[in-house]
Every structure is written in structure tokens, then in C-alpha cells.
Amino acid sequence: MLALEGVKILDLSMLVPGAFCAMLLGDLGADVLKIEAPGANEFRGSSRALPKEEQRKAAAYYALDRNKKSMVVNLKSEAGREIFYRLSQRADVIVEGFRPGVVKRLKIDYETISKLNPRIIYCSLSGYGQDGPYHAFPGHDVNYIAMAGVLGLIGSSERPPVIPLNLVADFAGAALYGALGISVALVARNKTDKGQYVDVAYMDGAIALMTWFNCGYFFDGSMLKRGESWLHGAYPYYGVYETKDGKYITIGCLEPHFWENLCRFLGKEEYIPYQFALEHTFHKPEGEKWDEIRSSLKQIFLTKTRDEWFELLIRNDVPAGKVYTPDEVFGDPQVLHRQMVIEVEHPTLGKIKQVGIAPKLSGTPGKVRSLPPLPGEHTDEVLQGLGYEQEEIKNLRQEGVVY
């Protein structure tokens, strides 16, 4: 049994965050139907410009569409909307990532669909949310994390902010909060027998991820500054160090006993008193001793390779981590043991690898049940399930309603 088995999701998302949100729910058992627009040009592994076999190969590795079926429907046509209405009446969840106002113009918004299916859970992912003075503004992850106060805190104090991968707003702020909101709405529906609207904003999610970091601001106005706090690497007990082989090792000795373990192991007992203090949360190191400690650690870590340091530090109960490249990540014994790289059987390509499923449920574990489809691969199957006759489907294709 899968946790979300029997939950039917219509995935209207055109971009990565919505696709990832639906993938997370599909991994846990939801029946996800990806509804694509004709000729859609999204950031997807299966480029429609490639030959069919190359498309299929590229699609197989595009994990964000795993555990999904695909149909291509022109929702701008009346017949296309009728198909969507029929699907909506049988669905539990709709996920969309258009700019605010688009689904209303298409006549597939929550107000319209909830009249057909009062139990529907309708999740909209948008940059700034469905209301407010910014709701119609365009944007991407870098814009949202900038406005959320995240970007200004990433990087060195001597340089401009450093743009991270689009993990904060896109994947966490939107996709994870979207999956959480949908899951909670499903639980609520079990109690009320009513669906609801889930309005997820990328910027809201990014701000929510900063909850702990902003506690001090609401308490007494204290604010973090880029590159100047303990968790920014400003202090030598929590940071990144180059090693003999030109690679990097990280240490995270926030707790006094871990710092003491490191200092004793390195023969630097005189550094033990220089550990975390509350003022380190908001202020950069002051005094020559901190410079001495950092300089000393830099020189020490250059005497051995990254992997040698990792073994020695872990053996001495010091929090350490190797800075990996992707190929190293998926060869790591812990990653393999936790099944965070999995092999899935493909009908023509054999076994292919994908990233595994993060939450490990003891009773209802997630599963990759099917590989990503080609655009429109299941159009006929879905239409037949809705009661359309073969001749009707043929006519819909000829009219450009479905593909």
C-alpha cells in the first residue's frame, strides 16, 4: 500500500517547482496526470525537437515526471476545457503554476472547478501569491529570495551576494510548501468533506524558511549581516577548508565538546576557550586571536587530503563533511545505503538511475512505479476512460484539441 494511493492529481504546472511538487506526491502513491499544452516549451528533459527515440531516452531521466501519465490538451478551446471539466469532476487535487489571472481567463480557476467538484483541492503556485500589490509581477527564484531577505545573507561580507541554486524559493518555498499544503488539505477534507484553495507563494515560502533566523529581529531588532555570523562561516569553528589535494572539507563544531575534540586532536588545546558565544550570532570575529586560529586551521588542513581528514575527524567525533561533486555524491556509501540513488527498469534502455525518495515511511514507503512519459503518451487512454469514443478522439485530434 502507498500512503496517497487513490488520490488523483491533475498537474497543470509548466515549470519545475510545480512538476517537483506533483512528483513528491506521486512518489508517495498519488495518481498524477500531467496535462500539457500543445507545443509547450518547458525546461524538460524530453525536448520535442529530438527524434522520438532520443525524446524517450531524455524523458526517462527526467525524474520530475516519474509516476505520471501525460496528455496534451488545448485548454484554450471549448472542447479542451470540456475535457478538463470531466477530469476535474473525478480528481482530488489540481496543481497549477501560471501567473495569477491565467486560469481565470482559461475558465479553469478554482471558483469554476469547485462548482463542478466541491471536494477539489486546488493548489496555485505563484511568485508573490494571488493577491497583494505584487501579485501580477513577473519573477524567478533569484527575485523571490532577494525580496525574502535570503539572498542578502548569502556570501562574504566583502563581496556582493552569491546566487545559490534555485533551491530556496523554487524547490523549498514553492514545491515543498505546495506538497505540504495539499497534504494538509487532504487531511482536512477527511474531516469536513470539503475541498479548498491552497495559495502558495514562492516568496512566502522563502520567508517562512527564515523563521528561526528572524526571531532576533522581532525580539530586539537584531539582524544578521552577510558573512558576519557563526553560521556564515565567519568563525573558524564552522567553515570550509581547502585540503592538500585541492579539495575541501567542512567542519561544524558549534557545540563546545565538538570544538574541544577538534582542538585536542590537532594539538591546539589553547584554542578550546574560543568557542561559540551568543554575540557570534550577529557579529563577525574581532581580535587577532580569531585571525590566528583561522590561519592556523587553514595551514593544518592543507597537510592532508580531504578524504584523509574526513576519516580522522569522524574517528575523533568531530562533525565533518566532504565537499562533493555530483559523481561523488552518488558513489557515497551512506547515499547508497539510504537508497538516494535508485535504479529503475526501462523497457528499452535497461536499468536507469534516478535520485531516490527522501521520506522513509516504515508502513507505506514511496515507490517509483513508472518512468516519465512522452508528451501526450496517455491522451487516448485518458479520453477513453472519460467515455470518449474512438471516432470522437480522432475528431478531437484533427481539430487540434488534443495531441
pLDDT tens per residue, range 277-294: 989 999 999 999 999 999
Contact 19, 11 (CB under 8 A): yes
Quick count: other Cβ atoms within 10 Å of Cβ 79?
15
Instruction: State how far the alpha carbon of 239 is from the alpha carbons of 162, 206, 249, 323, in Å.
Output: 16, 24, 8, 11
Q: Give residue-wise pLDDT tens across range 148-168.
A: 999 999 999 999 999 999 999
Can you give the C-alpha Rg of the chain in angstroms? 25
Q: Give residue-wise pLDDT tens across range 121-138.
A: 999 999 999 999 999 999
Which 3 state secondary structure label does DSSP give 393? Answer: helix
* Side-by-side strand order, sheet with 68-72: 68-72, 31-36, 8-11, 93-96, 121-126, 196-201
- Is residue 140 part of the annotated active site? The answer reads yes
Pairing type for strands 341-346 and 8-11 reads unpaired
Question: Max alpha carbon distance in the chain (Å)?
Answer: 84
Average confidence score pLDDT of the chain: 95
Q: Is the dihedral of CA 130, 135, 139, 141 positive or negative?
A: negative
Contact 93, 21 (CB under 8 A): no
Contacts of 50-59 with CB under 8 Å at 24 or more apart are: 52/374, 55/374, 56/348, 56/374, 57/349, 59/371, 59/372, 59/373, 59/374
Reported as a pLDDT band with limits 50, 70 and 90, residue 44 is low
CATH class, domain 8-209+344-398, is: alpha beta
Q: Give residue-wise pLDDT tens across range 217-241.
A: 999 999 999 999 999 999 999 999 9
What would the CATH number be for the domain defined by 230-242+248-322? 3.30.1540.10
Q: Give the mean model confidence (pLDDT) for residues 53-80.
A: 94
Phi, psi (deg, nearest 5) at residue 94: -125, 135
Domain ranges of the chain: 8-209+344-398, 230-242+248-322
Taking CA 385 as the corner, what is the angle to CA 380 and CA 387, rounded to the nearest 5 degrees?
95
| Residue 212 DSSP label | G
Q: Among residues 131, 140, 245, 257, which one is catalytic?
A: 140
Q: Among residues 109, 170, 199, 204, which one is catalytic?
A: 170
Contact 40, 75 (CB under 8 A): no
The pLDDT value recorded for residue 46 is 45
Q: Give the mean model confidence (pLDDT) for residues 343-363.
A: 95
Phi, psi (deg, nearest 5) at residue 74: -85, 100
- Is residue 204 part of the annotated active site? The answer reads no
Contact 229, 286 (CB under 8 A): no
